[in-house]
Amino acid sequence: MAAFSIYNQVLISSNDMAQALDIIILAAGKGTRMLSERPKVLHELAGKALLQHVLDTAKALDPALICVVYGYGGEAVPQAIADSSIKMVKQEPQLGTGHAVQQVLPHLSEKHVTLVLYGDVPLINRETLRPLIRVAQDNKVSLLTIEMENPQGYGRIIREGGKVKRIVEEKDASPEERRVTEVNTGIMVLPNRFLPAWLAALKNSNAQGEYYLTDVISLAASAGVEVVTAHPAHHREVLGVNSKGQLAQLERMYQQEHAARLLDSGVTLLDPQRIDIRGELVCGRDVVIDVNCLFEGSVILGDGVKVGANCVLRDVNIGRECNIEPFSLLEKASRGAGCRIGPFARIRPGTQLADEVHIGNFVEVKNSQVGFNSKINHLSYVGDATVGSRVNVGAGTITCNYDGANKHRTVIEDGAFIGSDTQLVAPVKVGKGATIGAGSTITKDTPAGELTLSRAKQISISGWQRPLKKAKD
């Protein structure tokens, strides 16, 4: 048994561990119960593909190689990932998990260990995986298992004298074996030096007619290689997705876990059950978030920020003491301190708001800069504009920025007052301290400090009558 002697008794540092690690992610399955043409691993949890969650965890372990085994859906998986640092290997036909790992064998280093993950198990924690990797680097096999009161559907861990001897899939298990409550999660770490012989020895004489990767456990035990098991901190880490119902359950678990972290960090959530985070949410002190808010991409909320009910924030940076009123949508923009936005406001990409800006109800701002203490409070559209400080934009104002082919810019200088129902036809500039009379259509630059009007003469038409509604036949 000299070939299986332990060659390294030293606990390896995390950096050395990363240099000696290969990772295989199995992602070839169709997911029949998903009832979808999309490969199962591309369905989204918290706004990100299941497979991408696993890839992010894998990258955090800093491995020498990450290899994704794909199959169903043709090139949909590699096209969706589009990451040159990931090795993509196609499994065709798909003859089981053991066969999948066989396809990767030419890319593995004999001196490394291989961690096997699954593209439909998105919540696995990297801190759960690190001890498994260290164990395998002592020339052992490490296996992640869990205890389940109802293990139906899972492969059972079969022990003799306390030592793992094999894994038996439920369809192949005897009645006695089915009573075992320790089950296989599928996640394991294997020393690569043994893999060529073990994979070559796999047989498909089972109920599924497939080559099971789990059969390497019995091969390892027979060869005198110790199989060490560990349990995850939470069962949710190893839950897979096989149906839309299971996907929805994992979504709630994911959101509840993030809500708990926010609460622990001092954020006030008026209802922790009604928040969705689809990216990264960073909060300062004394942040308050009302119900049914959605955070996508990278969102930063400064100290004292209040987010009203039913808001959507996507890739935004909100300055301290800002108040986001209910039903507002903010996307790819930045806000200064002390701003008030909404309700029912839409802030579109490219917008920058200075301190103490007010954006009111049913106001849309796009690709614009709005200066200190300026106010756009009612029913207005401001696009492709530069608005100075202390500007007041009246209700119903529109910057007419599009001529049917090209976008043009509007400049409103400091202290200007724009009357209600004004159209500013870009390119145009409103001078510093200028006033635009209500109901004006401005097509030329207006002088600083003066009142500019553009109105037709008011007349009354004698004898005019309103149209009458036609009688129905």
- Does 378 qualify as catalytic in the annotation? yes
Count, residues in the chain: 473
98-117 residues labelled b (16+ CB within 10 A) or e (exposed): bbbbbbbeeebeeebbbbbb
Cβ atoms of residues 113 and 20 within 8 Å: yes
CA distance 117 to 53: 11
- Measured between alpha carbons, how far is 434 from 431 in angstroms, rounded to an integer? 5
Q: How far apart are CA 133 and CA 21, in angstroms?
A: 8
Q: Judging by DSSP bridges, how do beta strands 21-27 and 113-118 pair with one another?
A: parallel
Spatial separation of the C-alpha atoms in residues 143 and 191, rounded to whole Å = 12
Contacts of 303 (CB under 8 A, 6+ apart): 284, 285, 286, 287, 320, 321
Of 234, 235, 378, 408, catalytic: 378
Angle at alpha carbon of residue 263, lines to 258 and 269, rounded to 5°: 90
Task: Name the CA radius of gyration of the chain, rounded.
Answer: 31
Measure the N-to-C terminal CA separation of the chain; round to a whole number of Å. 99
Angle at the Cα of 300 from the Cα atoms of 296 and 306, rounded to 5 degrees: 95
Residues with catalytic function: 378
